[in-house]
Amino acid sequence: MQFFREMREELLIKFLNDECTEDELKDVIHWIKFDSYTDYSKEMGYGQWNNYDYESDAELPEERKLESLLDQIHHKINVKEHYKSEKSVALFTKWMTRVAAVLLLPVLALYIYTITSKPDTISQLEEFSVDSLEIVAPTGSKTFVQFSDGSEVYLNHGSKLKYPQKFAGETRGVVLSGEGYFKIAHNPQKPFVVKTRGVNVKAVGTTFNVYAYPDEKTIATTLVEGKVILEKKAPGITPSPIGSMVPGQHVEYNTENGNINSTIGDIEKYISWKDGKLIFKRDSIARIASRLSRWYSVDIDVADNDAREYTYTATFTDEPLWHILDLLKNAAPIEYEKVPRKRLPDGTYSKQKIIIWKRD
């Protein structure tokens, strides 16, 4: 397939009219990712926008048209790893019709990079009903979402978020499974509620992090600025208040026994993931293994209790997993071993497993 530095106008027109072949669609995607920032591309993009009748955006200035487009497109993106199918290509083409005129935006190129960067896979875009939208941050990627009220969230690896296209009623409610860093638009008349399997986090205009993966017993909230109220919830029972938080506070709630642990200050290690950093401060090897497992999509098992006594303080930025494990091994008497991956009946391979133990 031939790639090119500047998009041919006739190919862009074919794309806008849903007439691209599969190979031509790949050319368009490549342009989105790498070549959509040139002056030529910008001029062509704005020109093609004006050839299409987008009634709701007709009176907007050029820069607001771009923002309006992004406000709409994030509602339609549900990132999942699937084998490429004809249906997914058709859906992609349909929804990207309105994108083609503004492909020059770096943020849009980032969306497309997230969608297409994994080898041998294509992410499927799926449209939900107006009352139930969902986005999934694929393993190895972080995803950004902006809500209709101007609030926004960064989703960590493997996280899932359900939310309405427009907030109605007395609250602005979303459902989180995983980890999200939220920046909430101020609206005291309409609290923003992040619902997890065991805790509700209420805010009116603030910044905070919520950690609530379904396979872990602890739900943690870290408040960066503003104020939030925590509520304990259980099926069939009205949520009951746990308490309010102050900036710089980190609260962990154990869903199995109801225990609550709270600390003040030094919250950077809980929120640095959104900037691509892994920060550990006097953390046990077991906690580090859990973070690394999720970050690198592997299964790390600390095999004996003797190894669990070691703690580490370190910061890693874009480090290969094996480099991190070697550094941990050099800092304490531990060893690790990679377990060979197994071929599964469907032809895929099991997740990489790593075993850690104390060195004699």
So what's the pLDDT on residue 12?
65
Q: Residue 132's pLDDT is what?
A: 74
**Residue 195 in tokens:** 């619902």
Contact 99, 107 (CB under 8 A): no
Dist CA 50 CA 283 (whole Å): 56
Same domain, 247 and 147: yes
| Residues 213 and 246 placed together within one structural domain of the fold | yes
Q: Tokens 């875009």 appear where? A: 125
List of residues 6+ apart from 328 with CB closer than 8 A: 285, 288, 312, 334, 336
Predicted TM-score (pTM) above 0.85: no
Give the pair of three-digit tokens for residue 219: 């739900």
For residue 192, the domain's CATH number is: 2.60.120.1440
Shared domain for 145 and 25, answered yes or no, is no
Tell me: pLDDT of 17 over 80: no
Are 177 and 49 in the same domain?
A: no
Q: Which of 233, 267, 301 is the last residue of a domain?
A: 267
Round to whole Å and give the CA distance between 223 and 203: 10
The whole-chain average pLDDT of the chain stands at 76
User: 335 — phi, psi (to 5°)?
Assistant: -130, 160
DSSP H helical segments within the chain, as ranges? 9-16, 22-34, 39-49, 62-73, 86-96, 106-116, 268-271, 285-296, 321-331
Number of domains forming the structure of the chain: 3
Kindly state whether residues 182 and 215 are assigned to the same domain: yes
Last residue of a domain, one of 127, 151, 175: 127
Domain with 75 in it:
1-127
Best CA proximity match to 285, nearest among 360, 178, 358, 210 = 358
Predicted local distance difference test score (pLDDT) of residue 71: 40
Same-domain pairing of 101 and 141: no
- Judge if 175 and 240 occupy the same domain: yes
Whole-number pLDDT of residue 7: 52
- Domain edge (last residue) among 127, 155, 187: 127
One domain for residues 82 and 199: no
CA distance 156 to 312: 23
To 10 degrees, the CA torsion angle through 30, 321, 196, 121?
Answer: 30
3-class SS of residue 7 = coil
pLDDT in tens, 55-109: 444 444 444 444 443 343 333 333 333 333 334 444 444 444 444 444 444 444 4
Tokens (6 digits) for 293:
């497992």
pLDDT value, residue 349: 86
Residue 206 has pLDDT above 50, yes or no: yes
- Same domain for 190 and 260, yes or no, is yes
Q: What is the pLDDT of residue 54?
A: 43
Q: Does one domain contain both 280 and 327?
A: yes
